[in-house]
Amino acid sequence: MKRRTFLNSTIFAGAFPLITPKQFFTNSLIKPTSKNKFPISICTWNFKEANEVAGKALEKGMDSLNAAILGAQVEEDNPANSTVGFGGAPDREGNVTLDACVMDHKKNCGAVLAVENVVHVASLARDVMEKTPHVILTGKGAESFARSLNYPSTVLLTKESKKAWEKWKKEAAYEPIINIENHDTIGILCIDKQGNLSGACSTSGLAYKMKGRIGDSPIIGAGLFIDNEVGGAVATGMGEEVVKTVGSFLIVELMRQGYTPQQACDEAIRRIVSKEEGIPNFQVAYIAIDKNGNVGSRSIHDGFSYMEYRDQKNINNLVNPY
């Protein structure tokens, strides 16, 4: 981030305590705008097909939650994506364990953590949300819940991901760093024709993680947060750092206070970077959208981009690093 932008945003942030609670409340809710701006779909990385599938479904009238899950499924099914779903990198013991969460426009949410042998974990997270009295199911419990709903049992480790894991084992260095090359979590935020916002986030997490490690992606408030009155945000990158700063919730709450999506993403990244000495060697990136369809994004390092589908165009936007 340029020094001047940084100074402006900190001055801007400092101004808020001066707002009285009453003013704050009046300022806080972003006014709904005309519905004809919508639908919009944005997602992390250059997942062109995933975002297009979601965008087109929204145009046909699909609601935002179904569209977000449909988009996420494109990457969950994609064996070439080594950080999501089928073909995702395993943990250090060779087990592929998936994490996902969803949140809808009514503040409902669901998540599954460390699930094996199920590809469509974002959809499973929705089932937790809709078909159980809970918000989170983990491991074997989540897997048996999937079986009870007839999700197929799928071996998630592919020939290629097994080969890469075996190569890693020979080197056997455990360096839990997510840099610019090794992460491709899909986080997707959709606004439907009704102006309702929902999101989904799906990942296999950190490659060769310790067995049982969970990052930010299935943690509501960290990897994803939606408030239909304000906006939504989603994260990718070094999940531990996103969890420590509750990044997606932070962004949405900053937008509630009047930050633009861009300013809110800048501040969330600044909170992470400011804990470190200098620019850290891991990557974290956020995308955010407000209730009016304004979009923001920021990453710590170069190399991050996001897709944006609106007005029947699906565009990849490069993100300037901090």
Give the active site residue among 185, 203, 236, 245.
Answer: 185
- Site residues for ligand ASP, 222-241, by CB under 6 A, read 236-237, 239
CB of 99 to ligand ASP, least distance (A): 7
Strand order from edge to edge, sheet including 231-237? 224-227, 231-237, 284-290, 295-299
Shortest separation between residue 210's beta carbon and ligand ASP, angstroms:
12
Annotated catalytic, 185?
Answer: yes
Q: Of 83-112, which residues contact ligand ASP (CB under 6 A)?
A: 83
Paired with 236 in beta bridges are 285
- The secondary structure element, H or E, covering residue 205 is none
**Contact between 247 and ligand ASP per CB under 6 A:** no
CA–CA dist 322, 202 (Å, integer): 25
Residue 280, φ and ψ in degrees, nearest 5: -70, 165
* 98-103 and 197-203 strand pairing: antiparallel
Instruction: Please select the residue that binds ligand ASP; options are 120, 126, 183, 270, rule is CB under 6 A.
Output: 183
Of residues 274-303, which lie at the interface with ligand ASP (CB under 6 A)? none
User: Torsions phi, psi of 124, nearest 5?
Assistant: -65, -40
**How many Cα atoms occupy the beta-carbon half-sphere of 144 within 13 Å?**
2
Q: Which of 63, 75, 216, 227 binds ligand ASP (CB under 6 A)?
A: 216
d(C-alpha 214, C-alpha 248), whole Å: 16
- 50-58, 106-114, 147-155, 178-186 -> range binding ligand ASP (CB under 6 A): 178-186
Two structure tokens written together for 66: 């179904």
Question: Contact 262/199 with Cβ under 8 angstroms?
Answer: no
> How far apart are CB 205 and ligand ASP at their closest, in Å?
3
Stretch that binds ligand ASP, among 8-16, 33-41, 214-222, 308-316 (CB under 6 A): 214-222
Work out how close the CB of 152 gets to ligand ASP at its nearest, in angstroms, rounded to a whole number.
24
- Residues 1-39 as b/e (b if ≥16 CB within 10 A, e otherwise) read beeeeeeebeeebeeeeeeeeeeeeeebebeeeeeeebb
Q: Which is nearer to ligand ASP, 200 or 206 (CB)?
A: 206
**Between 53 and 234, whose beta carbon lies closer to ligand ASP?**
234
Binding mask 190-209 for ligand ASP (x = CB under 6 A): -------------x-xx---
By beta-carbon proximity to ligand ASP, the closer residue of 83 and 161 is 83
Beta bridge partners of 225: 233
Q: How many residues at the interface with ligand ASP, by CB under 6 A?
A: 13
> Distance between CA 18 and CA 4 in Å, rounded?
23
Out of 161, 217, 263, 297, the only residue in the binding site for ligand ASP (CB under 6 A) is 217
Per residue in 289-321, is it b (16+ CB within 10 Å) or e — as a string?
bbbbbebbbbbbbeebbbbbbbeeebeeeebeb
Judged by beta carbon, residue 104 or residue 216, the one nearer ligand ASP is 216
Of 61-69, 191-199, 210-218, 261-269, the segment contacting ligand ASP by CB under 6 A is 210-218
Site for ligand ASP, rule CB under 6 A: 83, 178, 183, 185, 203, 205-206, 215-217, 236-237, 239
Active-site amino acid positions: 185
